[in-house]
Amino acid sequence: MNASVLVTAAGSIIAQGIIKSLRLAGGRRYTIIAADMSPLAAGLYRCEKGVLIPPVSSTPEYIESIIKVCNDNDVRAIFCGSDDELLVLANAKEEIECRTDAKLLTGPAGALSIARDKWTAYEFCKTNGLRCAPSSLPENREEFVKEFGYPLVVKPREGYGSVHFYIAKNSEGVDAALAAIEKAGWRPLLQKYLPGEEFTTGVTIDKDLRYAMSSISIRKIIKHGQTYKAFIDDYHSIRRSAEEVALKLGASGPINVQTRLEGDSPVVFEINPRFSATCPMRATAGVNEPDIVFRNAVLGEEIKIDSYERLVCMRYWNEVYLPYSLYEKASQGKIEKGAFVPDYF
């Protein structure tokens, strides 16, 4: 099988994780079209074709460009590579799928809206009896501090990747964090600080919202907001907890549930309704989420994966080089082959 697929935001760590996973799909070959707004997006040069598109902030032009790329390249599926694009694409899902032959591999916009807003996600967890980190809006700060004390987590309701994530140790720290988040144009949230080990669990839900096709948990060590060292193991109770969250959310495709342990119990503190930057680690262990979702949503396959390999992953930087002449062409909108990655590590 050879299928053309589009991966957006090719400069992001999420998109690059999707690309790596598609390369690892055994028995299938994907022709990957990478799209980004910037000619300095590394993923543009590591795929069969790279295309420049308008920024997601110019929504009508952005959606039109996605539709054109799909029609020009016989794209079968669209993988969203960034949080900023997620709801814009989901809200245009019907139009995109009507005007192209491509499937947009995101869940329903309503479910995504719940998960993308950390306050709404907290209320969803409480309503559904899911154990979650106690949270508060700033106007209820005094009562929240009285109940949980310091330190407290202060972060944006719409945030991602630890951008404007703060651990406040006193009232002045909370003031500074709230001001920084509001200055960035986001809405702040207070959350109980959970000191236990952190886990990220990827769950894939079938297109008819009936069952979890796969789940895989990683205990992670974070550096600058991203998983730096990863311990991939069974973590049975954490996986089952994440599956319950994903199924109750009502979103098909990929869901990532972030938890910390409080005693022996997993406590949810964030839900990300998208593919994760750690998906190539999961694919290497035997749970290839982009491939699973494509096969289910596009090919109609029924898939169930219950086990995977136990691994330790050590992440490191790498570089993509582009001859300056090709960069100058890329800056004018023409992406050509010729980038390279030296085999020096």
Q: Which tens digit of pLDDT belongs to each residue from 94-105? A: 999 999 999 999
Give the integer Cα–Cα distance in Å for 53 and 184: 25
Sign of CA dihedral 228, 229, 233, 236: negative
Alpha helices in the chain (DSSP H): 13-23, 59-72, 83-91, 93-99, 109-116, 118-127, 141-148, 171-183, 236-249, 279-285, 289-297, 324-331
Q: Is residue 20 helix, strand or coil?
A: helix
**Burial class of residue 60 (count of CB atoms within 10 Å of its CB; 0-12, 13-18, 19+):** exposed
Q: Percent of the chain having pLDDT more than 90?
A: 91
- Residue 135 — pLDDT band, cuts 50, 70, 90? very high
pTM of the model: 0.95
Q: Which tens digit of pLDDT belongs to each residue from 163-215? A: 899 999 999 999 999 999 999 999 999 999 999 899 999 999 999 999 999 99
Q: Cis omega before residue 342 (within 30°)?
A: no
Is the per-residue pLDDT at 226 higher than 90? no
CB-based contact 74:102 (threshold 8 Å): no
Once rounded to an integer, what is the mean pLDDT over residues 328-339? 94
The structural domains of the chain, ordered by start, are 2-106+319-331 (3.40.50.20), 134-192 (3.30.1490.20), 195-314 (3.30.470.20)
Residue 222: per-residue pLDDT: 85
Q: Percent of the chain having pLDDT more than 70?
A: 99
CB atoms within 10 A of CB 183: 9
Is the per-residue pLDDT at 161 higher than 90? no
The single-letter code of the amino acid at 331 is: S
- Residue 74 — pLDDT band, cuts 50, 70, 90? very high
Least confident of 113-122, 138-147, 216-225, 324-333: 216-225
Q: Which tens digit of pLDDT belongs to each residue from 44-56? A: 999 999 999 999 9
Q: Left if phi > 0, otherwise alpha if psi is -120 to 50, otherwise beta: which for 248? A: alpha
Residue 277: per-residue pLDDT: 93
Once rounded to an integer, what is the mean pLDDT over residues 240-262? 95
